[in-house]
Structure 1
């Protein structure tokens, strides 16, 4: 594990050379390939070195981080072409990747907490530095204070745990904490990060104001930190969890339905995709809270699928934005007449977003539906509504943007570039091919 960390640290000076912008990206892909070769078939904690190590859960999350960060640079060629501080952008990218790598690979809870919080800073800089509207300051403030509000109680709870049980090793933490206060202190920051309905308001704001790279990392990896932390720590809250988890399952189910209705009323493409993330992560939260095997495996599959699918949709929204100079669904009409080849990608990623086969989203939803219905059959009502409206808003996004009369006279008649098609292919291909080897994703406990 340390060899990858050292590779990333030694890539920091490289990021300051403007001429080597694309070399950075090739190295990211090279690092992803090297990490793929570290895949272990025994599902135990492997590659242990110093404070880092991984089992299947953290391996998949780190792999997703590498992959999304590689694609973020591919999506941000505008910064390089227009010379928008591309070297500083590369520097914050590598800092972000280091913090995510250490957070997902940490075997110690305090180290996890440290890098969990550190990952917030590069994202904040991405939003405030490269966002393109004055509201980005407000969005950054929302992001910062929502997370900070939940993180201090968690720090105090970590100190309390260490004082009483003398270990913070994630794989040795099996002493239960069965009080509601500790449960909330430890998990509230994860609920904000996922985000759970009621504490989700920062997400649409942050997404709408962020540049394409900021949206990709937020949707692709940052939301997964919440689910990952919850999966790791739910083992010390089993007893209290059985008593109060139903509250959070109810909130995430009903909230998922409400958010799906909100999606149908959006006029901003990025806002619609951001709200759909809240609905999908609500399902993940429900799966983790049921405390059963179906739920945990389904949550892992869904997090991976959502990371690729949502990130791809943000890339598509940005491709349209760069040409029409508007994110409005009403102005981005009739794009099938101008870029028919891009319409195919809109269709493929929108269909994956509504969990159409053969995408990983389908596998994740089936497993989570199994988990929640076996927990309580009453969940069927909300799950059926969420599934239906998920298809409804995905079709709304696709049909409204691709069909109809062309409104915008600003459209520059440029077809998609090879870079854009490669970017979308690299989102869609793993999303739909990984289902062929899905047995690796369900054996990690």
Structure 2
């Protein structure tokens, strides 16, 4: 595992050489191929070195990290101070790599919190409006207040068990406070309903690459942490999982209603992420095979789909200089070459077949019905609201009458490449899964 880590570390000086930007992206793809080559030894922890290793839970999330990281370099075209921008993206990638490959709880916690630093610099330095200062404060305080009790608990676990390795930790406490401390920090990162207020603020003010990494990777840190914590103490999850299940069921429906009153494209996509992550929590809290697998696949599918939607929203913003639904009307007339990919991304966002989201939500539906039979009706409402706001996102922006019938714009080949690299995994991963089954 250290060969991948050192490869990424030694690529950092290339960020400050302007002629190496293409080489940087190719290096990302080389690392991705190296990790794909490691696939044979990820059933249990493999490639262990310096408390870092790969297993089946971290493997696909690391692949997603480098995939989204390589696409972020395409989104950097045209921004100012590209060297510093790419350096911050590298810091994010390194911290995510450590987080997903840590065998030690303290390693994971430090990298989990370090992600906040380059992300805040991205938002404050390359954000859009003056409100980015407040969004950075929201992000900082939500993370700090939820995570500091976890640090104290980790130190207590080290004192009690003399180890912080995930394989050795088995908690025997039956206190709800311990459960709350361990779960709350990951629920904030998901984010779960009632802890989600930082996400729309951060998304709207972040640059396009910040939004891509927020939607594609940051929300997956919470899911990955929850998977690891579940293995440490299963009893408390069996005892108290109905609490988080209830919040997620009701919250996903209410967030779907909130999406329908949004006037900003990025705000709607950000709130749709909260709704989908609620489904992930519902699947995980059932603690069944289908729920666990469906939640994991939905995290991967949402990583590609939501990141592609944010990239497309920014692409429209660079041409019309507005993200408002009230001004962006009739874009099918203004930029017709983007209507198909925008429609596909909105369709996959509402979990239409043959996307990865469809298969994963079907697995989640099976698991939550076995957990609570009446959840079928709630799931139908949530799916209906997802279809409504995805249709709203497409129809309000691309249908209607454009304000200037003589304007016209085309998509560049580089933008097509970035969008289709988001779409292709959403279609081909389900084919791969069905071939395995």
Q: 1:429 to 1:99 in 2, by over 3 A?
A: same
CA distance in 1, matches of 2:407, 2:2: 47
Contact kept, 8 Å, 2:330 with 2:400, in 1: the verdict is yes
Deviating beyond 3 angstroms after TM superposition, the runs of 4 or more aligned structure 1 residues are 439-442
CA drift at 1:125: 0.8
Match for 2:384 among 376, 388, 410? 388
CA drift at 1:61: 0.7
CA drift at 1:332: 1.3
Q: 1:378 to 1:220 in 2, by over 3 A?
A: same
* 1:221-240 aligned within 5 A: 221-240=217-236
Match in the other structure for 1:420 = 415
Asked if residue 101 in structure 1 is aligned to residue 97 in structure 2, the reply is: yes
Relative to structure 2, which stretch is displaced further, 42-51 or 192-201? 42-51
* 1:169-180 aligned within 5 A: 169-180=165-176
Asked if residue 186 in structure 1 is aligned to residue 179 in structure 2, the reply is: no
CA drift at 1:60: 0.6
Asked if residue 17 in structure 1 is aligned to residue 12 in structure 2, the reply is: no
- Secondary structure of the corresponding residue to residue 403 of structure 2: coil
Match in the other structure for 2:148 = 152
Contact kept, 8 Å, 1:300 with 1:441, in 2: the verdict is no
Q: Deviations over 1:83-129 (max 9, x none)?
A: x1110011111111000000000000000001001111111111111
- Secondary structure of the corresponding residue to residue 159 of structure 1: helix
Q: Deviations over 1:329-384 (max 9, x none)?
A: 12111111122220000011111000001110001101111111110012112111
- Secondary structure of the corresponding residue to residue 47 of structure 2: strand
- Secondary structure of the corresponding residue to residue 252 of structure 1: helix
* TM-score when normalising by structure 2: 0.97
Q: 1:160 to 1:183 in 2, by over 3 A?
A: same
Contact kept, 8 Å, 1:110 with 1:158, in 2: the verdict is yes
- Secondary structure of the corresponding residue to residue 176 of structure 1: coil
- Secondary structure of the corresponding residue to residue 38 of structure 1: helix
CA distance in 1, matches of 2:49, 2:66: 19
Match in the other structure for 2:7 = 7
* TM-score when normalising by structure 1: 0.96
Match in the other structure for 1:66 = 66
Relative to structure 2, which stretch is displaced further, 433-442 or 170-179? 433-442
Match in the other structure for 1:242 = 238
Q: Unaligned regions of 5+ residues in structure 2, if any?
A: none
Contact kept, 8 Å, 1:335 with 1:406, in 2: the verdict is yes
CA drift at 1:19: 2.5
CA drift at 1:204: 0.4
Q: Unaligned regions of 5+ residues in structure 1, if any?
A: none
Asked if residue 344 in structure 1 is aligned to residue 325 in structure 2, the reply is: no
Asked if residue 435 in structure 1 is aligned to residue 430 in structure 2, the reply is: yes
Contact kept, 8 Å, 1:194 with 1:281, in 2: the verdict is yes
Contact kept, 8 Å, 2:333 with 2:408, in 1: the verdict is no
CA drift at 1:408: 5.9
Match in the other structure for 1:129 = 125
CA distance in 2, matches of 1:161, 1:377: 37
Q: 1:232 to 1:174 in 2, by over 3 A?
A: same
CA distance in 1, matches of 2:155, 2:434: 38
CA drift at 1:440: 8.9
CA drift at 1:34: 1.9
Match in the other structure for 1:325 = 321
Contact kept, 8 Å, 1:249 with 1:289, in 2: the verdict is yes
Q: 1:19 to 1:42 in 2, by over 3 A?
A: closer
CA distance in 2, matches of 1:373, 1:238: 21
* 1:28-427 aligned within 5 A: 28-40=28-40, 43-79=43-79, 84-407=80-403, 413-427=408-422
CA drift at 1:441: 8.9
CA drift at 1:237: 3.2
Contact kept, 8 Å, 1:40 with 1:46, in 2: the verdict is no
